[in-house]
Amino acid sequence: MELEKLLYTTYGFNSFRPGQREVIEEVLKGNNVIALLPTGMGKSMCYQLPAHLLPGSVLIVSPLLSLMQDQVAQLKKMGEKSVVAINSFLKPEDKEKIWSSLGQYRFIFISPEMLVQPFVKKQLQRISISLLVADEAHCISQWGFDFRPDYLRIAEIIPLLNNPQVLALTATATSKVTNEIKKYLNMQDPFIYTHPMDRKNLVYDVKRFEEPRQKVEWLKEFVDHFEGPGIIYAGTRNKAQQLAAELTACGVSASFYHGGMEHQDRIFVQQQFQNGELEWVCSTNAFGMGVHIPNIRHVIHFQLPTSIEGYVQEVGRAGRDGKPALASLLYANGDEGLLQSLVMDELPTKREIETVYANHEDAIRLVEQGIVRETALRVITYWQSQLPLEGTLRQMEELQNEKIKQAEKIRKLVNIQGCIRQYISECFEQQLLEKPANCCVNDGIEYSAFQKRAAQKRKESSTSWKDRLNALLPS
């Protein structure tokens, strides 16, 4: 069947977005594929359409429960019934139903942590899987900004599933990260599609302040004059909560979101935001994947992100409808200290590594007692299965040096005098061929593009409540 016709009859779209057809054709040829498509370019269609032509099931490994739930909901909204997400929150009776009919599902979503469980592996071996998809594949890379050690174990599963094709999808990856994806998924001579990562409708701004408190005052003034919806990224959980409290106290519709919240509370905030009941979400980088809201107008980094890759991934959540969106990065003197601590906190410490190696049998107890962090334990456990103690210590030292290099790119971004858009493209080894009229703060920003409701707000505030009431209830 002609691909465009299948696209229309199955999902109602008249044409492919840039890059989709190229990737889909390679998948249907039976090739392994690494696809780098910017946020909002429809990466999921690269496996959704082939699933209707390939035999068996498509297994999608996804890093976040919220992301899986959103992808399942999107498919069901498009009329797809044979889809399921396997996670630890399923009721026993639901799990039993899924296992008994597993081979009947066209799309099976699963987390990497669930994928490596012996019982789950055994169930998946019973069915025919034609395509394995590593979604958000940058999580595979130890150099990436969102490393998930269990992603490295996907390669162990592939032979058990009779070596299905592999499709790796991500929005942001340097050549170093792409090589890591290729290596850790054992992809022999994959087809690599790289779309220019620059999004012309995103406008880059940097605001500099003498003191951190000035950033809070600027933020309150900003949300009063510029329309949302928007995401405000904070470096810590406490800061996310503080910013939400500041905005709420000003009468702004805002809430916070971070990984320390209960699962149901996180889902509730995400649903409120998606339904338009919240205008602003103050969050750590835990918020974003699976948030498919096309009209996000602003992404504000209240504190410095730890890498260019993470920054681009996060600002890419704005303006998915193609309309102008503003990415504002706030910097105050002294922010480098927090950046340095955040970079170091991402990795296991020497003490944690040595403690786990010395007490491997009681590793879980170490987490329960607060001696070793849970995320650190996952990283250490993987490398413990691969290397002796000295090897793991060297590995972490290399990673630390790489993280410091990544942080240095962020420092340069804050201080750069030239075009920010061009600098970001160069960080991804891409050439910027043309710049939009509304480009970045160093080339001049036309802020009126983001002030659609500002004039109306000022007009309303200048009119007394009696006048507004009389206008609504004429005599």
CA distance 99 to 122: 10
Give the residue, 7 or 87, on which the prediction is more confident.
7
Where in 146-189 does DSSP place strands (E)?
165-170
Q: Residue 429 corresponds to which tokens in the numbers above?
A: 């080894």
Q: Residue 410 corresponds to which tokens in the numbers above?
A: 């962020």
Contact 300, 286 (CB under 8 A): no
Contact 388, 172 (CB under 8 A): no
Number of domains in the chain: 2
CA terminus-to-terminus distance, the chain = 65
Question: Within 10 Å of residue 59's Cβ, how many Cβ atoms?
Answer: 25
**pLDDT tens, position by position, 222-243:** 998 898 899 999 988 999 999 9
Give the DSSP H/E element, type plus range, for residue 23: helix 20-28
Domain span including residue 8: 3-194
CATH number, position 179: 3.40.50.300
CA distance 290 to 39: 11
pLDDT number for residue 473: 57
Tell me: do 251 and 281 sit in the same domain.
yes
Question: Within 10 Å of residue 109's Cβ, how many Cβ atoms?
Answer: 25
Read off the pLDDT band of 475 (50, 70, 90): very low
Rg value, the chain, Cα: 23
Lowest mean pLDDT among 133-147, 175-189, 315-329: 133-147
**pLDDT tens, position by position, 123-166:** 999 999 999 999 988 888 765 556 677 788 898 899 999 999 99
Contact 205, 328 (CB under 8 A): yes
Contact 13, 7 (CB under 8 A): yes
Q: Is 404 part of any domain?
A: no
Q: Is the pLDDT of residue 7 over 70?
A: yes
Tell me: do 186 and 225 sit in the same domain.
no
Q: Is 306 part of any domain?
A: yes
Quick one: the chain helix, strand, coil %, rounded to 5?
A: 50, 15, 35
Tell me: do 175 and 107 sit in the same domain.
yes
CA distance 136 to 248: 33
Give the residue, 229 or 339, on which the prediction is more confident.
229
**Could you tell me which residues come within 8 angstroms of residue 263 by beta carbon, excluding any fewer than 6 positions away?**
65, 89
Q: Is 255 part of any domain?
A: yes
Lowest mean pLDDT among 152-156, 166-170, 348-352: 152-156
CA distance 39 to 29: 25
Tell me: do 242 and 296 sit in the same domain.
yes
pLDDT number for residue 173: 80
Tell me: do 155 and 207 sit in the same domain.
no
What value does the mean pLDDT take over residues 107-111?
Answer: 94
**pLDDT tens, position by position, 64-108:** 777 787 788 888 888 888 999 998 778 888 888 999 999 999 999
Instruction: Please report where in the chains the tokens 């490295």 appear, as a residue.
Output: 152
**Could you tell me which residues come within 8 angstroms of residue 415 by beta carbon, excluding any fewer than 6 positions away?**
none
Tell me: do 181 and 210 sit in the same domain.
no
- Which candidate, 156, 187, 177, places its Cα nearest to that of 31? 187
pLDDT number for residue 457: 46
CA distance 110 to 74: 16
Pick the last residue of a domain from 169, 194, 219.
Answer: 194
Q: Residue 434 corresponds to which tokens in the numbers above?
A: 């043309």
